[in-house]
Structure formats: structure tokens, C-alpha cells
Amino acid sequence: AQSVTQLDSHVSVSEGTPVLLRCNYSSSYSPSLFWYVQHPNKGLQLLLKYTSAATLVKGINGFEAEFKKSETSFHLTKPSAHMSDAAEYFCVVSVKAAGNKLTFGGGTRVLVKP
């Protein structure tokens, strides 16, 4: 079985400062890892994905994440937060052996202060 732990339920940053959202995963098989963003009352948008290629993954809107197998982590970062980044972010793991169903972390709500 696989699981995902997002270490912070809420993160507050000032506009223009870096953002770090932490994610640790557990999986018996080689995982695919994703970050999704959900704006209030909206659907889910894929930010980026890791699927056993390069360990540093660049996504949309300036976000990137690094897969670290030794630490079982897939933290999401952005050098400079923008007001539009205020949303909820989900770290997600998928394993082919589990039928590729997605396992979501509990989410991290990001607040961006002006």
C-alpha cells in the first residue's frame, strides 16, 4: 500500500518570498508522484509530475519539486510567491501495481500575505 503525508496543513508566506510545501511518501513499488493545486470551489489542476525520469521536476507557474528517494520526499517549491498562489495543494502518489489509483495527502492550504 502507498501513503502520502503532507507535513504542514497550513503555510503562510509574504508575497515575493519563497514557498516550501513538504511531502513524504511511502510505497512498496516505484511511485509516480504529482502535485495538484485546487483553488476555492474549483477543480484540480496538475502542477507537475515525477515518473522516474529527471528527479528535479519543473511545473507550471514557476513551481518545481525534487524527488529524493533516500528521503522518500517530494517537496514543492517556488522562489517567489504571488497572490494568485493562494490555494490548497495536494501531494499525490500513484503506483501501477495498485491500478494507478491516486492516493492523496491531506493537503496544505497556502495563504499569501501582501
Partner 1 sequence: NAGVMQNPRHLVRRRGQEARLRCSPMKGHSHVYWYRQLPEEGLKFMVYLQKENIIDESGMPKERFSAEFPKEGPSILRIQQVVRGDSAAYFCASSPNTGTGEYYGYTFGSGTRLTVV
In terms of Cα–Cα distance, which of 77, 6, 8, 91 is closest to 46?
91
CA distance 28 to 65: 21
Give 69's contacts (C-beta < 8 A, 6+ positions apart).
55
C-alpha cell read off for 20? 516550501
Residues near partner 1 (CB under 8 A) are: 32, 34, 36, 41-46, 49, 51, 90, 94, 96, 99-107
What minimum distance in Å lies between the beta carbon of 50 and partner 1?
Answer: 9
C-beta of 15 vs 86, nearer to partner 1: 86
C-beta of 41 vs 70, nearer to partner 1: 41
What minimum distance in Å lies between the beta carbon of 37 and partner 1?
Answer: 11
C-beta of 14 vs 26, nearer to partner 1: 26
What minimum distance in Å lies between the beta carbon of 49 and partner 1?
Answer: 7
Note whether 44 and 87 are within 8 A (CB): no
